[in-house]
Structure 1
Amino acid sequence: MISVLLVDDDALTLELHRTYVERVDGFRVVAECTGARAAVSAILERPPAEGIDLVLLDMTMPDGTGLDVLRHVRARAADVDVIAVTGVRDADVVRQMVGLGVAQYLVKPFSFAVFRDRLEQYRAYRERAREATGPATQSEIDAMLGALRPTASVALPKGLSPDTLDRVTGAVRGSGPLSAAEAASALGMSRVAARRYLEHLADTGQVVRSPRYGTPGRPETEYGWHP
Structure 2
Amino acid sequence: MTIRVLVVEDEEVAARAHAAYVERMEGFAVAGVARSAAEALRHLTADPDVQLVLLDMHLPDGHGLGLLQRLRAAGHLCDVIAVTSARDVDVVRAAVAQGVVQYLLKPFTWPTFRAKLEQYAAYRAQLTASVGDVAQDEVDSMLGALHARGTNAPLPKGMSPESLRQVTAVLRAAESGLSATEVAEAIGASRVTARRYLEHLADTGSVERSPRYGGSGRPEVAYTWR
- TM-score of the aligned structures, taking structure 1 as reference length: 0.67
8 Å Cα contact 2:151-2:164 kept in structure 1? no
**Which AA in structure 1 matches 2:78?**
V
Unaligned segments of structure 1, at least 5 residues: 155-165, 173-197, 206-227
**Residue in structure 1 matched with residue 80 of structure 2 by the alignment:** 82
8 Å Cα contact 1:33-1:39 kept in structure 2? yes
8 Å Cα contact 2:115-2:150 kept in structure 1? no
Larger radius of gyration: 1
- 3-state SS in 1 of match to 2:100: coil
2: CA distance between counterparts of 1:5 and 1:124? Answer: 19
**Residue in structure 2 matched with residue 134 of structure 1 by the alignment:** 132
Post-superposition offset of 1:151: 1.1
2: CA distance between counterparts of 1:199 and 1:80? Answer: 36
Post-superposition offset of 1:152: 5.3
2: CA distance between counterparts of 1:93 and 1:43? Answer: 23
2: CA distance between counterparts of 1:59 and 1:199? Answer: 35
**Which AA in structure 2 matches 1:151?**
R
Identity of aligned residues (%): 42
**Which AA in structure 2 matches 1:5?**
L
**Residue in structure 1 matched with residue 93 of structure 2 by the alignment:** 95
8 Å Cα contact 1:36-1:61 kept in structure 2? yes
Post-superposition offset of 1:44: 2.2
8 Å Cα contact 2:25-2:114 kept in structure 1? yes
1: CA distance between counterparts of 2:17 and 2:59? Answer: 17
2: CA distance between counterparts of 1:41 and 1:7? Answer: 12
Of residues 145, 155, 164, the one that matches 1:204 is 164
**Which AA in structure 2 matches 1:16?**
A
- 3-state SS in 2 of match to 1:126: helix
Runs of 4+ in 1 over 6 A off after TM superposition: none
2: CA distance between counterparts of 1:67 and 1:16? Answer: 22
Post-superposition offset of 1:98: 0.6
2:108 pairs with 1:148? no
- 3-state SS in 2 of match to 1:103: strand
Cα deviation per residue 1:111-155 (whole Å; 9 max; x = unaligned)? 10010000000000011011111110111101100000141569x
8 Å Cα contact 2:44-2:50 kept in structure 1? yes
**Residue in structure 1 matched with residue 31 of structure 2 by the alignment:** 30
**Residue in structure 1 matched with residue 222 of structure 2 by the alignment:** none
**Residue in structure 2 matched with residue 185 of structure 1 by the alignment:** none
8 Å Cα contact 2:11-2:35 kept in structure 1? yes
Post-superposition offset of 1:82: 0.4
Q: State how many pairs are aligned.
A: 163
- TM-score of the aligned structures, taking structure 2 as reference length: 0.68
8 Å Cα contact 1:58-1:84 kept in structure 2? yes
1: CA distance between counterparts of 2:95 and 2:148? Answer: 17
**Residue in structure 2 matched with residue 194 of structure 1 by the alignment:** none
2: CA distance between counterparts of 1:7 and 1:151? Answer: 26
2: CA distance between counterparts of 1:109 and 1:201? Answer: 26
